[in-house]
Each structure stands twice: as structure tokens, then as C-alpha cells.
Amino acid sequence: MAKLKAPRGTQDILAQDARHWQLIESTASKIFQAAGFNEIRSPIFESTELFSRSVGEDSDIVNKEMYTFTDRSDRSLTLRPEATASIVRAYIEHALDRQGLPQKLWYRGPMFRYERPQTGRYRQFHQIGIEAIGAEAGQIDLEVIQLGITLLEQLGLGDLILYINTLGNQASRQAYTQALKDFLGSVQEDVCEDCQRRYEQNPLRALDCKVPADQEIYQGAPSIHDYLDDESKEIWQQTLAGLEKLEIKYKIDPKLVRGLDYYSHCVFEIKSTSKELGAQNTVLAGGRYDKLIEDLGGKTTPAVGWALGIERLASLIPAAGLDGGLFIISDDALAAQLLACKLRQDNKQELQVDFDYNASKFNKQLERAVKRGYDWALFYMSDERESGKYKIKNLRKSVEHEDLSYQDLVKILSP
């Protein structure tokens, strides 16, 4: 029989990686909560129409990347390719505006896109993101960006560059789109098929093309900055001044447009210069989407947000060892279990304590403790059990403690 394998483009997250994921998620949750963002969990599938109306009928996502199926009642459903549309749907459906604006929300979870799998690109991937709904362009954009940077820095990432651009308001964007279309018309024969289609359907998106030869050609494209009206210019200048004041370093990338339909004003991406990610080096991306809520049937409401890819981020954070932890070496597995249970409880389940169910040979247990990366071994043979005194040895440094009372033991191990 053929071996069963995880579907192409999906992966199992195993022990060491899962620790990185937990660290990313817990750090994110702490940072967002401290900034007054509430978690929102929305369904993994939605009606297909939600994405065709939000992400855009002619976007790459809707055109060729969606996992769409009909259920047993003939409804067309789609595994969510991104979460902003779902969150806006939930915001409208539950009239969250009645709870006061802005609504500051964050989410995490799997997304699904039928893409060609490669390093940093999967068919099921995971995002963490934030959305601030109901605040005009201005300071909130800066806070949203700053939260992304804080999270990446807290996780120990260096080598990051924030790229930022503006798409201006609708009028500026329209004027620019026309100019860009004229330019694209003149290079039609030299660009990829996707870009030929983009020329007709959504010229801006050509600038987001991943083909290097096309990118070369687009160096000659007009710049959005020559088409900004006064309002757009003022908002853009304020954004840059705010970044300076907050001491956030940035680079302006006039060709940064983002792949989705709904953006306006400020758009940004944080890229890593680490070799780890190859071409897939954008870790976090987002921008302002003032038209989306209206497009989905809500009141006109400005909003801004970003999403980051957990897989890409996890491959960049420095290897984390097991944090602390104790392995009980004993010739009586039940006695070891009883002590493990008590130690975990007295450390509020914050100390990792393990033991050997088979009470195998002393050396074998010690080897296992070292191999699994525990900081401490506790020797719990009949002598120690009778005396009520504990002996522990640090497996990384040459430190030992003998004759410890239970209280002292708990104190020393407390993480």
C-alpha cells in the first residue's frame, strides 16, 4: 500500500518548531493585549462571495489560488486565503461599531492558497494579524506599524527593513493607474502572461509581479508620488514625520503596491535580509483599506492592518532551547510520578517536570534527560525518598545541590 503523506504544500509542525510557534503566539498575544487589541476567532471557511467581493475578482488569490468547494447543500464555500475579509464581515455582522471605535482586533490561524510550494511558501500557512477598524489615516497607522516592529524585535529578529509607500486617496490612485496603464501598454510584449492580464484587469498589480525580468522593466514605470493630490501628499508627509518622531527606520519603495484590491494611502512590508528565506523574504505586510468595509456592505469606515507569516517568522527566530525543566531519575516510576505532579503544581504548571515510566537503568535515564535538553536532573532513589532530602544536578553547568528540603527545592527550580 502507498505510504500516506501530508498533502502537498502542508506540513506537520514538530516539537522544536512547535516551541517556536508557541513563543511567537504567546509574545504576540501579550503585546497586542497590552496595546488594547482583542483577539477575534473567525471560521476557517466562508462563503466564496466574501473573497471575490473583497480581495477582488481579478486578484491572483481569487483567480487561481482559492480552495473552493461546494458543500452537500450546494453552497459555494472557500477555505479562507486571508483573514481581513472575514474580520470585516464579522465587524459588520455583529455591528461591532456600536461598541465604540476604533475596534482594535487581532487574529491568528491557518490560511489556504493553492500556490507552488517552495521555501517560505505553502498551501496551508499560518498568519498572525491585527486590524484597527474605524480610525482615519494618521497616528493609528503608526501604532499598527510599531506593534509589528515591537513583536519582531521582541522575538530577537535583527536584519529587518521596513519598506513603506502610499497609494494615495482614490482620486490619486485613479490618476496614477491611468499613467501606469499607458506605460504598461508600451511594454506588453516583453512581460509575462500574468502581467498581460493585469494590464487589462488591474494595472497596479503588475508592479507586484514576482518575475525578476518584469521587475527590471518596471524600473522605468511612472511613480505614484508624481500623482498624489494635496490631501494624499499631506497624509503621506504626516506618516513619514510620525515615523521619524517614533524613531522607526524606514525605506520608501515607490513601487510597493501590495497584491490586493482594497488598499489606499499607506502600505508597508517588513522584509528580512537573512538568507534563510530566499526570495520569500517578506515577513509582514499590510496597509490601509478605507474602502473595504463599504464594499462588503457596511458603512464607510476607514481601517488599517497587517498580517505576518508564522512559517517565515519561525524560520528566522534564534533557536530556543528547552527553558529550564527537570527530569526525575528514579527506580520507582510511581513515586516519581507523584513527585512530578506535586512539583508541577507547586510551580503553577510553569516548570516542566518529566520522568521515566519504565524506571530503566540509572545511566539510561540520565542520558535521556541530557538528550531532551533538561536543565536539571533530580535523583530520587530509595535513600533520597526515605531521608526526605533532595539532590539535584544541573546538566548544563557543573552545579549540584544536596540535602535540599522540599521548600528549597521548589525555590531553586522556580522558573
Query: Interface residues with ligand ATP (CB under 6 A)?
Result: 82, 113, 115, 120-122, 125, 127, 259, 280, 282-285, 307-309, 311-312
Minimum Å gap between C-beta 122 and ligand ATP is 4
Minimum Å gap between C-beta 119 and ligand ATP is 10
The alpha carbon torsion through 93, 95, 101, 103 (nearest 10 deg) reads: -40
> Which is nearer to ligand ATP, 31 or 152 (by Cβ)?
152
The neighbour count for residue 351, using CB atoms within 10 Å, is 20
> Which is nearer to ligand ATP, 84 or 239 (by Cβ)?
84
Minimum Å gap between C-beta 270 and ligand ATP is 8
Minimum Å gap between C-beta 118 and ligand ATP is 9
> Which is nearer to ligand ATP, 54 or 330 (by Cβ)?
54
> Which is nearer to ligand ATP, 144 or 283 (by Cβ)?
283
Closest CA relative to residue 89, chosen from 128, 49, 142: 49
CA angle 219, 166, 136 (to 5 degrees): 170
The alpha carbon torsion through 5, 10, 11, 12 (nearest 10 deg) reads: -80
Minimum Å gap between C-beta 111 and ligand ATP is 7
Terminal-to-terminal C-alpha distance of the chain:
48
Write down the H helix ranges in 60-110.
60, 84-93
What is the spatial order of strands in the sheet that 67-70 belongs to?
45-47, 76-79, 67-70
User: Residue 19: in which H helix or E strand, if any?
Assistant: helix 15-34
> Which is nearer to ligand ATP, 45 or 163 (by Cβ)?
163
Minimum Å gap between C-beta 42 and ligand ATP is 16
Minimum Å gap between C-beta 324 and ligand ATP is 31
> Which is nearer to ligand ATP, 82 or 356 (by Cβ)?
82
> Which is nearer to ligand ATP, 303 or 340 (by Cβ)?
303
User: Residue 67: in which H helix or E strand, if any?
Assistant: strand 67-70
Helix orientation angle between 139-154 and 15-34, rounded to the nearest 10 degrees: 150
> Which is nearer to ligand ATP, 106 or 122 (by Cβ)?
122
* Cβ atoms of 199 and 209 closer than 8 Å: no
Minimum Å gap between C-beta 184 and ligand ATP is 19
Name the pairing type of β-strands 251-252 and 160-166.
parallel
Q: Which residue is nearest to ligand ATP (CB)?
A: 309
392 contacts: CB under 8 Å, gap ≥ 6: 326, 376, 377, 378, 379, 400, 401, 404, 409, 412, 413
